[in-house]
Every structure is written in structure tokens, then in C-alpha cells.
Amino acid sequence: MTRFIPLLSLGLCLGYAPVFHAQTLLHTDSALEWSSTITADELSGLLHILAADSMEGRETGKPGQRKAAAFLADQFEAMGLQPINGSYFQPVPLTITQLKGGVLTLGSEKLVFKNDFVPYPGIQVVDIVAEAVFVGYGIQEGLWDDYAGLDVAGKTVVMLAGEPGSAEKGFVLSGNETPSKWSQDPSVKRMIADSLGATATVLVSPEFATLKSRLVPWLSRERMRLDVDRQGEGTDLPTLLVPEEVLLRSTGWKSMKDVRKKWPKRKLKGTDLGSMELHLARKADKVEATNVWGLLPGSDSLLADEIVALTSHYDHVGVDKEGLIYNGADDDGSGTVSLLENAGAWMAAAKAGKGPKRSVLFMAFVGEEKGLLGSEWYSEHPAFPLEQHVCDLNMDMVGRFDEAHIDDDRYVYLIGSDKLSSELHEISEAVNAKHVGIALDYTFNAPDDPNRFYYRSDHYNFAKHDIPVIFYFSGVHEDYHGPGDTPDKIRYSKMAEIGQLVFLTSWEVANRSKKLAVDQVNDFPSNR
């Protein structure tokens, strides 16, 4: 699972169930024979291979990741799953980038990367040439419009951080001492500038020194991303941070106090700041990585084109500078061997003449720990059209327990089950009640969950395309992303029960006469 800081204390909310009509199970009774092939012993045997020291922590792009991919492909082939497009591997083009330097010219001011300016996190564009214009605070709200009378299309907008007023004297927009969204979230200003056609934003901050000290170490790190051109996408407008003195030197304005006093009355002269040029030097190294996939074709000619996806991620965080291996037994070795066991159960059923009506796709993603990269690539380059995907059942960290469940580890967190399809949620609840009987915990299924788990595993790249999902998760523990996440600490009997729940749920979905209805308005925003 991708890391998110901070991880807040875990809550507890057992037995959550939105009010839906009772679901009638149609097929799962006949599947019990094959669900029983998912056993603790087999899970243990597979995990002791996948999370062994020889896999070197399975970091994306490293030899250990490629060893793990080969192992998974061999397993799929031995089971009899079909390759896709002639292969068990889906290549995922990745690159490792690192900012190495750069120069920003604003009017007559020539600024050096890290010393005089820093890019806002997420910048993709490395070269910009445009006219620059000062837009005050960059705010549009009610009667306050910093863009009134200005055409900023194709230009760089230079704006003050924060908003007019202060905590001591009160903020103009709120009329009290509480700052608004305009002070708290720079992306709000970025979205306004983007909607007006701006090319980039320059944020003038009185806290530049503090922000620089926080950002420079992050910006200097190597970063892995998909090797595709993302320039100009969405509202991720390039934003640069500069100190207040840069604005004063480039304009000749007297003081920042004077700027803040005169701007609201439009008494500032020279708001056209001349040309702005940005040139960043960025190192980029291509990386070899693959998703691993295998297909069990459906048996019904009318339904075989529809896809039920079972997924996990097989990468982890590798080896540290001291040579210590991070085995990733729970994250996400546990989900990946559960995927293998589910594939084995399905193949056993198929060989007995009881294969699924719909096709079942088994996928182990790479690059989840780097930002859900493998599943993002699949969602943009699917083996089958996305509209043919019925659902995704994703397993990530299903082998341990957290502080909220010390007294009883027979539980699983479910995230997303009711967000797009009421039918999928009903099936999940009914299958568990009838056949498995573990506690279904929906603590993290709320849009205001501070941990944001919904966005932190590969199901998200299906859900954002309105494909129903269930994320199976057992919570964070003391060895999360640490060297202590080893196979000896896994609760294999717990894993087996969760694996059986996934299998029986997928069995029901894969064999129903009608495709799952997408009938819910997702209350999780489709934006990480």
C-alpha cells in the first residue's frame, strides 16, 4: 500500500451496512468445494517464496521485482491461465526523474533553483516562456475579483500568497479572524488561474524560507512516474514559489505593505511584469517493469466478453542503504499470494467443468508503492475495454491485524463496496453472512477518513472510471513499510478466510445472468 503521512489513529465501526434490499445468492453453494482449496498451508508456502530475502524487497525496477514477476507468471502458466496478447506480462513504461537545477527569469531578475525559487510539488513542465502579469491575491469570490479587467490567457500569473487582511485585524472575505480556503490551499488559486487560460503561476510567499527548507529535500529526490507526457493535464498548473523581495526587485515597488494597500484599489502601476522564462534541468532514466496477468475465459458466449478482475500489487519498497531487506510479506505479499490461491481455485472449478460464465482476469500490479503506477497504466491501456469490466476485487495487506482488533483478528476492512453498485455490496454482505462469517468493518469507507485508504491501492484506478470495486484490507500495523514485515508474522488462517470470501464473491458476480448495476453516486471524489 502506498504511504500516506500522517497515519492517524485507527477507529472502529463494525457492522456498517447501508440499507439495501436483501440479496438472493444464486450460485455460491456450488462453489464451496473449490473455495476450500484456499488454505493456510498453501498461502504460507507461496508467501515464504514471494517474500523471501532472494526477492530483495521487490522494489519496482529492481532485479527483485523482476524475479517476483517471473515467479508469478510461472504460477499462472502452471495453473493453465491464458496469457493475454501472447504474454503473461504487460510492460509498464516508467521513468525515474530528478530535478538537477534550473533558472527562472522574471523581468530583469534571474533566479537560481533551490536558492531563489522552488517549484511547487508535482511540476511536470520544465520549459516555460510567457508574459507575466501581477494578479494580486489571485482570488475570485463574490465581489472580490483580482482578475477583473485582466486577460491572463497564455500568460504567467504572479500572485500573493494568502488573502487580504490578517488574523489580528480580521480577513476581508470572511469578516473575522479565521482564514479561508484561499489561505489554506494554493490549489484553489491554481484552478482559477487554469480556468482562465494561464500558463503557470508564481506564488509570492512571505514564508518562502520555511517552505524552501521543506520542499528542497523532497524536490531533490528521485521520483518514479509513468513515462508519458503529462504536460497540461487537468488542473496541475505549474506553480513556482518565490520570496517577496523578488517581486519588489522585479517591479521597483516600494514595499509589500504598499503593494497590499494599493492593489485592492487598483492603484499599482506596472502590473505587466514583462517576460517570464523557466528552464529546469531534469534527469530521466527509463525503467523496465511489468504487470503480471492471466485470464480464465468465460464459458457463456453472451457473457464471456465481460470481465471480473481480481487484483493485488506485488511490488514493495526494496532494500535500504544499509542493505536491510524489506520483505513486504503483508504489503502486499499477502494480497498477491491470495490472488494466486484464488486463481488456483477458479482453475480447479474450470477443470471440473464449472468455470465462470464471465471471464475472470487475474492481475498483479507493479509500481503501487510508487503511486499506483501499474494500475494507472492498465486503466489507460486495458487488455479489454473498460466498459466490459464488471468489477475489481482488490486485496492489499490482508495478513495481519491492527490495534483496533487485537482481541479478534477474524475481520476485514471493506472499502468502496457500496460506492458505485448497491448490488455488489449486497452480494458481498450475503456471501459473508452465509458462508464465511468474519466481521466486515467499514471504518475506512467514509469520504472523510483521514487516512484516505480509498485512494491508496490499485482499486482506485478502476473506481475512478466508474467500475465497482471492493478493497479488502486488514489495517496498518507496527511493521508497515518496515523490515519487520516478514512471513512469520502473518495470520494465515485469517488470510484463507478473506481469500475464500473474495473467491465466493467473485463466483457470484461472474455467474449472475445480468451485469452488476452501477446505481450509486460515489461520494468519494475522483481526485486523489
Do 394 and 470 meet the contact criterion of CB atoms below 8 Å apart?
yes
Same domain, 368 and 228: no
3-state secondary structure (DSSP) of residue 12? coil
Q: What's the average model confidence in pLDDT over 400-425? A: 96
Q: Write the pLDDT tens digit of every residue in 61-79.
A: 999 999 999 999 999 999 9
Q: Is the pLDDT of residue 268 over 70?
A: yes
Same domain, 345 and 233: no
Same domain, 318 and 395: yes
Same domain, 213 and 338: no
Percent above pLDDT 70 for the chain: 95
Q: Write the pLDDT tens digit of every residue in 322-359.
A: 999 999 999 999 999 999 999 999 999 999 999 999 99
Backbone angles phi, psi at 144, to 5 degrees: -90, 115
Closest CA to 364 of 35, 36, 50: 50
What's the CATH code of the domain at 305?
A: 3.40.630.10
Same domain, 88 and 101: no
Residue 527 falls within a domain, yes or no? no
Sole residue written with cell 504598499 = 258
Check residue 450 and give its pLDDT.
92
Same domain, 214 and 246: yes
Residue 523 falls within a domain, yes or no? no
Same domain, 476 and 378: yes
Same domain, 444 and 358: yes
Check residue 409 and give its pLDDT.
92
Percent above pLDDT 90 for the chain: 79
Check residue 171 and give its pLDDT.
87
Which triple of cell numbers denotes residue 57? Answer: 524487497
Per-residue pLDDT band at 229 (split at 50, 70, 90): low
Domain range spanning residue 299?
28-92+289-511
> How would DSSP label each residue in 269-308?
S--EEEEEEEEEEEEEEEE--EEEEEEE--S-TTTTTSEE
Q: Is the pLDDT of residue 228 over 60?
A: yes
Same domain, 373 and 358: yes
Domain end: 285, 312, 333, which one?
285
Same domain, 346 and 264: no
Per-residue pLDDT band at 13 (split at 50, 70, 90): very low
Same domain, 220 and 157: yes
Per-residue pLDDT band at 204 (split at 50, 70, 90): very high
Q: Report the 10 Å Cβ neighbour count for 478.
A: 11
Q: Is the pLDDT of residue 300 over 50?
A: yes
* Cβ neighbours for 66, distance < 8 A, ≥ 6 positions apart: 288, 290
Check residue 95 and give its pLDDT.
94
Q: Report the 10 Å Cβ neighbour count for 128.
A: 17
Q: Is the pLDDT of residue 526 over 90?
A: no
Do 511 and 434 meet the contact criterion of CB atoms below 8 Å apart?
no
Domain end: 285, 303, 332, which one?
285
3-state secondary structure (DSSP) of residue 96? strand
Do 245 and 117 meet the contact criterion of CB atoms below 8 Å apart?
no
Closest CA to 49 of 332, 307, 329, 274: 329
Number of domains into which the chain is organized: 2
Residue 468 falls within a domain, yes or no? yes
Check residue 353 and give its pLDDT.
96
What's the CATH code of the domain at 268?
A: 3.50.30.30
**β-strands 127-134, 156-160: how paired?**
parallel
Handedness of CA 118, 122, 128, 130 (dihedral sign): negative
Same domain, 338 and 449: yes
Q: Write the pLDDT tens digit of every residue in 138-166.
A: 999 988 999 999 999 999 999 999 999 88
